[in-house]
Amino acid sequence: MELEIVIGVLVAAAGVIGIHTYLHKLVKFKMDESSILQHFKDSTSDDKHHSTSSISSQTDITTERVAVVCSKSKVIESHPKEEHSWRLQEPRDN
Q: Is residue 44 part of a domain?
A: yes
What is the predicted pLDDT for the residue at 93? 61
Range of the domain at 15: 2-88
Q: Is residue 93 part of a domain?
A: no
Q: Specify the CATH number for the domain of residue 82.
A: 1.10.10
Q: Is residue 94 part of a domain?
A: no
Per-residue model confidence as pLDDT tens digits over 18-67: 999 999 999 999 999 999 999 999 887 777 889 999 999 999 999 999 99
What is the predicted pLDDT for the residue at 12? 96
Which among 48, 59, 43 has a CA at the least distance from the CA of 85?
48
For the chain, the domain total comes to 1
Angle, to 10 degrees, between the axis of helix 63-72 and the axis of helix 52-59? 110
Q: Is residue 80 part of a domain?
A: yes
